[in-house]
Amino acid sequence: MKPFNWKFVWYIIGILLIIESAFLFISTLVSAIYMEHDFIPFIISTLFTLCCGGLLIWSCYDHDKDLHRREGFFIVSFSWIALSFFGMLPFILSKSIPSVTDAFFETMSGFTTTGASILNDIDSLPHGVLFWRSIIQWLGGMGVIVFTLALLPRLGVAGGVQLFNSEAPGLTHDKLSPRIDQTAKRLWGMYLVITIACAGFLCAGPMSFFDSICHAFTTMATGGFSTKQASIAYWGSAYIEYIITAFMFIAGTNFTLVYFFLKGKPKKMFKDEEFRFYITVITVCTLVITIGLLTSGIMSGVESTFRTSLFQVVSLLTTTGFATADFIPWGTFYWVLMLMIMLPGGSAGSTSGGMKLVRVLVLTKNTVNEFKRQVHPNAILPVRINKVVVPFELVTKVLAFMFIYLMIILVSSLILAGLGTGFEESVGSVITCISNVGPGLGETGPSGNFANLHPFAKWFLSFIMLVGRLELFTVLTILTPSFWRE
């Protein structure tokens, strides 16, 4: 095994910090426009991040350009930690979030598009900070590494593939071009265009221009940070809810399918099994909740109940985490169902977190085949997705992924319980963080936040967010002894 290419690793981290400083500068401009007290903190954060990034690039400029799988795993994992440490500076320096623990939790929640928050009075935050909270989710949605590949084709195809495969979410992520940098450019170009469209539609309603931009960022990232403490419920607008529901749905769809749809090839989208499964899950869950709420008398009015149910289902399934209602008072059946909706997440190749629906589909088909093998033990029954046989090795990897995912939930819930966290909060917090959703249960539910958790719990859940965002194996692999063995 070749020696670890540390210089190239730090060189790439330096580039990422330069990119982060550019977006910090944009937030500085927002602060300047509104002439608020966070202007100087943003200036300091921008210059410090820029200098640190420039120093890393300068000191590692004569690097070996060979990038292998190990370096790819490490860059992707460590870059999110580095970006979060520098990204929390505006929160601390502006005293919007004076605690280092809380500021790191909020920033990691932003970059991983989790949307879990420790803030109790979001409405009082300055515009620069609110914009920064939103734009870090937007960057994290498509992936900072993918953004880098779009800007830096000089990395080359070999190095780019390692980074892209380590970060792109889901079981499969088809390239839109033979060149990985062209794929990254097309993904980010489409992401930007749809974000602008979302902002335009929101601005046509009761939202202000600033709120529209921020919510377009966090909707397309399936992040869920809002500029209001009451989230989307603040506007009480059916128009806003339907628009955000539509764009959350788009963000939870495989972007390769969205690309073909925009290119005038909608058949590719509707022929895709995962996409049809995605629609089925949303339809069934929405109808079950709507009928349940109406027949139990919890809510009245067919349209408003349907809209509320649809919004919660799409928000949680796509792991966005916006709220128009608190489902906890609805009863145990509903919050257990909501927990189950959080787990699968959206489609592979989308900005959603969670297990990804394609994995659930593979596991379901494999389970059905096992029952068939009981009757026909000699039958060859491969798992097929879109009429293509899924290799046995990939089915095995899905099984391992599901096992690790559930074990992390169980062990992590136990750790949080050991820190004095209640049962509902422990389970809900872990599931919402590993699935990058946002709201949990109990005090961490849609009407609460994570402010009262033990400090260690916040650091631990920050790690769980990262593990979930990078699909378990990317982060956990670098913690194994074999990874570091030369």
3-state secondary structure of 111: helix
Coarse DSSP helix, strand, coil percentages of the chain, rounded to the nearest 5 percent:
70, 0, 30
Which letter does DSSP use for residue 345 in this model?
A: -
Please give the Cα distance from 425 to 150 (Å, whole number).
Answer: 40
Which of 187-201, 244-258, 371-385, 442-456 is predicted least confidently? 371-385
Whether residue 172 has pLDDT greater than 60:
no
pLDDT attached to residue 397: 87
pLDDT grade, residue 154 (50/70/90)?
Answer: very low
Give residue-wise pLDDT tens across range 222-253: 999 999 999 999 999 999 999 999 999 999 99
- Which of residues 384 and 30 earns the better pLDDT score? 30
Tokens 């909706």: give the residue: 341
Gyration radius of the chain over CA positions: 22
Which of 325-329, 337-341, 422-426, 478-482 is predicted least confidently? 478-482
Q: Which residues pair with 388 in a beta bridge?
A: 385
Contacts of 222 (CB under 8 A, 6+ apart): 113, 141, 248, 251, 252, 318, 319, 320, 346, 350, 351, 352, 353, 436
Which of 82-96, 158-172, 356-370 is predicted least confidently? 158-172
pLDDT grade, residue 52 (50/70/90)?
Answer: very high
Mean pLDDT, rounded, for 365-393: 86
Give residue-wise pLDDT tens across range 97-153: 999 999 999 999 999 999 999 999 999 999 999 999 999 999 988 876 565 555 555
Q: Within a 13 Å sphere around the CA of 375, how many CA atoms are in the beta-carbon half? A: 5
pLDDT attached to residue 144: 62
Closest CA to 454 of 118, 45, 188: 118
Please give the Cα distance from 159 to 364 (Å, whole number).
Answer: 35
Please check whether residue 191 is in contact with residue 168, taking contact to mean a CB–CB distance below 8 angstroms.
no
pLDDT grade, residue 380 (50/70/90)?
Answer: confident
